[in-house]
Amino acid sequence: VEGGVGRAALALEVLKAADMLQAEGLLKHCLEGFRGALTVHTVAEQLVWAHTRGPLEARAVATEYFIAHGRAVRVRQYGGRCDFL
């Protein structure tokens, strides 16, 4: 699991860098991966990331996914952080 988390974090950083460097092809590729990795278990966390540190395009992708699957998303908060079910 730890390796998957590290790869996911790296993928988000590459997505952010592609936007900052205006590398349109890389940005499009990263957004496709970002979209494909969204689940009802991860979308809330990724939506927060997209709004706080991600590019505008990632916000749109995460928002669209959340709107489409919002009824299935479960968020539980305790201990000062959110756990996504």
Q: 6: pLDDT confidence band, cut at 50, 70 and 90?
A: confident
Residue with tokens 């969204």: 38
* Radius of gyration (C-alpha) of the chain in whole angstroms: 13
Q: 84: pLDDT confidence band, cut at 50, 70 and 90?
A: very low
Q: How far is CA 63 from CA 2, 11, 69, 75, in A?
A: 26, 19, 10, 16
**Which residues on adjacent β-strands are paired with residue 31?**
none
Say whether 84 sits in a helix, a strand or coil. strand
Whole-structure pTM value:
0.74
Chain-wide mean pLDDT for the chain?
84
